[in-house]
Amino acid sequence: MKHTDIKELFANSQQYKEKIVTVCGWVRTARDSKSISFVELNDGTCLRNLQLIVDKENAKDMPAVSVGTALNVTGNFVPSERNGFEVIVTAMEVLGECPADYPLQKKFHTLEYLRTIPHLRPRTRFFEAVFAVRNELSFAIHKYFHSHGYKYMHTPIITGSDCEGAGEMFRVTTQPWKTDCKTEQEYFAGDFFGTKAGLTVSGQLEGEIAAMGLGKIYTFGPTFRAEHSNTTRHAAEFWQIEPEVCFADLHDIIEIAEDFIKFIIKEVIDNCPEELEFFNERSEKGLLDKLHGVINSEFVKLKYTDAVEILKKSGKEFKYPVDWGCDLQTEHERYLTEEYYKKPVFVTDYPADIKAFYMKQNSDGKTVAATDLLVPGIGEIIGCSEREADLKMLESAMLKRNMPLDAYREYLDTRKFGSVPHSGFGLGFERILMYITGVQNIRDTLLYPRTVGSL
Ligand code: 4AD
Ligand code: MG
């Protein structure tokens, strides 16, 4: 269907000025005066609507349009005082009618309401902006790694190993719900893969395998967690970016993570100015100042032990009391990053007992070379560590956690044959998207959010 994108018309308006153009889109608003109809058309290519002017005198055989109607319109693209440019319509074809029970009649709908109609959300300004930033952010991520010589790896989605060891894997099975199996072993032996399988909680272990030959790699793919955390920051299906870098220690990977975060935020600032203006108004006042502040300042680096001291001295009544060895809860993370430092904070060197098996053990025998990046408003957006590169140390950490070494033989081989210091991190894609847009609920960053109790 020959037509011009609305984005293209606005971007090169001088070139189209006083020319006949054809556009397609959906009616966002329609209002009538005595002799003229004003229609705002949106085609999804940019946030801005194109105003159509329909002179009723010349439009006797043109159909009346209602909100949501899909149109193909031809007319003169002319300067206008109010809108910059508008189209004086000469011909109009209805591509798809939209009856009066279309749920998006109002100009403004709450996000809670829109969650009940996910199939129509992309037709709203809010979600058009969310998905535009989501798109730009994805591209920026690839751009960063590609220009720094990383290889993009596609790690398996179906896997047998629980990388994070938290037992939050969704099971993948083709077994009928009733079998004659007497044992779990027998049940899984008869299953599709002949063994227990699940959806990946992280591409890291396979990412490490790839990095141990390719030097530096990244993954960017879906991740699944059967966590029963019904919060505004947890989804059962989310996307994760996981670089894995050989010949890099914790200090090096922190530097990479900070540089990377600043780069992708800058790309969105540069390429989505209208969307960020919109979010600055609609979801977080001061959003733009916050983002500029982040790219122009150094992130805090704080040892876990010092974080515990700060929290203890804060005089705050936390729901979960703080003591050395405890996992930091959201309330603690938010205090550090929102009240105490008011900027992103890398908390480093956590107690080994609260972290995953693969992290490098520090010489104090108590902590690991790991860091979480915490940001105001959200808490953790990155989980990061130097990996344990010593075979014996790694095996002992696994045995301590009752992990079956045999199931991880190939992973352990990377430490047996030419082991090198290496590090990596996992960035939650929807979490950084929330941070950049000020969107408060992870359900409003995904086309179809999957959360506990809701598919
Ligand atoms: O801290 P996590 O569990 O780290 C890992 O998976 C490591 N294997 C990463 C690595 O070193 N390669 O998860 C990483 C990030 C978190 O910081 C958070 O941003 C996000 O993934 N995340 C979630 N995002 C949305 N919903 C959930 N349920 C999430 N769980 C983790
Ligand atoms: Mg984590």
Q: What is the per-residue pLDDT for 363? A: 97
pTM of the model: 0.96
Nearby residues of 178 by Cβ (< 8 Å), 6 or more positions away = none
Cβ count within 10 A of residue 420 = 14
Q: What is the per-residue pLDDT for 61? A: 73
Ligand 1: atom nearest CA of 242 is 12
* Interval between CA 202 and ligand 2 midpoint (Å): 11
Among 443, 451, 430, smallest CA distance to 133 is for 430
* Interval between CA 15 and ligand 2 midpoint (Å): 51
393 pLDDT above the threshold of 90: yes
Mean pLDDT of the chain: 95
Instruction: Kindly list the distances between the CA atom of residue 178 and the CA atoms of 175, 187, 439, in Å, as whole numbers in the listed order.
Output: 8, 10, 44
Query: Is the CB of residue 203 below 6 angstroms from any atom belonging to ligand 1?
Result: no
Q: What is the per-residue pLDDT for 86? A: 97
* Interval between CA 138 and ligand 2 midpoint (Å): 21
**C-alpha–C-alpha distance, residues 75 and 18, integer Å:** 10
Q: What is the pLDDT of residues 3-54, one digit of tens each?
A: 999 999 999 999 999 999 999 999 999 998 888 999 999 999 999 999 999 9
85 pLDDT above the threshold of 80: yes
**C-alpha–C-alpha distance, residues 98 and 110, integer Å:** 21
Q: What would the mean pLDDT of 349-370 be, rounded to a whole number?
A: 97
Query: Is the CB of residue 240 below 6 angstroms from any atom belonging to ligand 1?
Result: yes
Q: What is the pLDDT of residues 192-225, one digit of tens each?
A: 999 999 999 999 999 999 999 999 999 999 999 9
Query: Is the CB of residue 227 below 6 angstroms from any atom belonging to ligand 1?
Result: yes
Q: Whose CA is nearest to atom 4 of ligand 1?
A: 383
Q: Which residue type sits at 426? A: G
* Interval between CA 424 and ligand 2 midpoint (Å): 13
**Residue to mutate, 238, 239, 241, 359, ligand 1, most ligand atoms under 8 Å from C-beta:** 238
Query: Is the CB of residue 347 below 6 angstroms from any atom belonging to ligand 1?
Result: no
Query: Is the CB of residue 422 below 6 angstroms from any atom belonging to ligand 1?
Result: no
- Choice between 81 and 115, residue whose per-residue pLDDT is larger: 115
Q: What is the residue-wise DSSP string for 184-222?
A: HHHHHHTSTTSS-EEE-S-SHHHHHHHHHHHSEEEEEEE
Q: What is the per-residue pLDDT for 106? A: 87
Query: Is the CB of residue 430 below 6 angstroms from any atom belonging to ligand 1?
Result: yes
Q: Give percent of the chain above pLDDT 70.
A: 100
Q: What is the per-residue pLDDT for 34? A: 84
Assign 281 a pLDDT band (cuts: 50, 70, 90). very high
- Choice between 60 and 175, residue whose per-residue pLDDT is larger: 175
Q: Whose CA is nearest to atom 20 of ligand 1?
A: 428
Q: What is the pLDDT of residues 137-189, one digit of tens each?
A: 999 999 999 999 999 999 999 998 888 887 799 999 999 988 899 999 999 99
Query: Is the CB of residue 423 below 6 angstroms from any atom belonging to ligand 1?
Result: no
Ligand 1: atom nearest CA of 236 is 28
Q: What would the mean pLDDT of 342-351 be, rounded to a whole number?
A: 97
Q: What is the per-residue pLDDT for 64? A: 76
Query: Is the CB of residue 211 below 6 angstroms from any atom belonging to ligand 1?
Result: no
204 alpha carbon, closest ligand = 1
Q: What is the DSSP letter of 290?
A: H
Q: Which residues partner with 197 through β-bridges?
A: 172
Tokens of 454: 């809701």
107 pLDDT above the threshold of 90: no
* Interval between CA 108 and ligand 2 midpoint (Å): 36
410 pLDDT above the threshold of 90: yes
**Residue to mutate, 168, 202, 429, ligand 1, most ligand atoms under 8 Å from C-beta:** 202
**Residue to mutate, 219, 220, 223, 378, ligand 1, most ligand atoms under 8 Å from C-beta:** 223
Q: What would the mean pLDDT of 414-433 be, rounded to a whole number?
A: 98
Q: What would the mean pLDDT of 290-315 be, rounded to a whole number?
A: 96
Q: What is the per-residue pLDDT for 164? A: 85
Least confident segment among 30-34, 102-106, 276-280, 347-351: 30-34
308 pLDDT above the threshold of 80: yes
